[in-house]
């Protein structure tokens, strides 16, 4: 399962991560505007990545780094033997990224 969004989505992502069974394969990606926005998400044995939009000194467009992470995750997980991939994207995720994600998954499972 992939959870993606920005800091405004942290409460929802924390609730979802806490409700998953321990054996779930979880990847959480949060786009932030500076390292002061980095928080804590308990993903068990899963992976949590914080993507800073200001890493190169300039503010990257909202969703740009998240889109790259989604693309990489879909390339890794959507090509396997398991046909079901679940992606949850925060409410503020740009529409173009939602459409890209739906196009990358073999069975659109984007909420």
- How much of the chain exceeds pLDDT 70, in percent? 88
Collect all residues with Cβ–Cβ distance below 8 Å to 22 and sequence separation of at least 6.
Answer: 44, 45
Report helix angle 64-77 to 95-104, nearest 10.
Answer: 10
Strand order in the sheet with 2-6: 47-52, 27-32, 2-6, 87-89
pLDDT tens digits for range 1-38: 899 999 999 999 999 999 999 888 899 999 999 888 99
The full set of domains in the chain, from first to last, is 2-104 (3.40.50.80)
Predicted TM-score (pTM) of the model is 0.84
pLDDT for 47 beyond 70: yes
């Amino acid at each position: 399962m992939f959870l993606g969004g920005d800091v405004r989505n942290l409460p929802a992502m924390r609730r979802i991560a806490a409700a998953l069974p321990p054996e779930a394969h979880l990847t959480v990606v949060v786009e932030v505007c500076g390292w002061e926005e980095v928080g804590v998400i308990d993903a068990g044995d899963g992976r949590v990545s914080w993507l800073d939009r200001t890493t190169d000194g300039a503010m990257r467009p909202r969703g740009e780094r998240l889109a790259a992470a989604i693309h990489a995750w879909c390339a890794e997980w959507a090509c396997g033997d398991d046909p079901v991939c679940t992606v949850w994207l925060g409410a503020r995720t740009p529409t173009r990224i939602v459409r890209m994600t739906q196009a990358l998954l073999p069975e659109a499972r984007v909420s």
